[in-house]
Structure 1
Amino acid sequence: MSQNLKIRFVPGRYAIARLPVDASLPAWLNGPGFRAVIHSDDETTLVCLEDRVPQGVEADTGWACLRTIGPFPFDAAGIVRALIDPLSANGIGVFVVCTFDGEHVLVPSSEVENATRFLEAAGHVVESR
């Protein structure tokens, strides 16, 4: 089933950083803007505004963040797929973080205009930046 979603950009440029699995959460993570902490068996991944990440921390910078305007029922099928299919089909890499009320899709900042165009062509409504 096709999903037509309402999407907005979250202000700022974001970084995806990697810390050791046993690292404590750093103070630089705190502050305004979207931020996420993902712990796995072998690493800790942080997402935050890129200007917060200190030199020397392994990070990929230059990401823009799109957010669905929800919430959606947890059993709603196809939400993430509806977002990433038009992007992936057109060669745009993504990093996805789902929250209780919605999905955050990070795309390279250099691809914002293309991502917007592909999402709108797929029937989604992208609020202007």
Structure 2
Amino acid sequence: MNIGANIAHFNNTVKDIGVNAFISHNNDVNSMKPLRSTVGQPWFSYFLIESAGLFRNQQEIDNYTWTDPKTNAVKKIQPNAKPGDLKFIDADNNGIINDGDRKYMGAYDMPNYTYGMNLGAGWKNINLNVTLMGVSG
């Protein structure tokens, strides 16, 4: 008879990536790379533009504006939006939805713990082996 077990804890925080400011992990999605890793964030973090919900009607789109502090000119932040489109937050307050509006918003699902157990028993020429594995967190 034999019994074995293991458990591992995964601390998902990037400590160092060398000279790069970040590492992109995927191809473009609508010309953006939504998964990246940088120091202080979890590996495979989502780097996205935050949404304030959906535009419900044209009036909401027309009212979502930015005023240039130098010229007082008013412009729509999302001029091509249609009702039902996502309303993106202009986080850097420059009147344009771009990379400057992105922020880290959680990480790709990686478990905090992995564990396993194996059991084995034999009698004459009969063997029974059981392997159990799991993840959590």
Taking structure 2 as the reference length, what is the TM-score of the superposition?
Answer: 0.22
**Structure number with higher helix proportion:** 1
**Structure number with higher strand proportion:** 2
Taking structure 1 as the reference length, what is the TM-score of the superposition?
Answer: 0.23
Using CA pairs under 8 Å that are at least 6 residues apart, name the structure with larger relative contact order, 1 or 2. Answer: 1
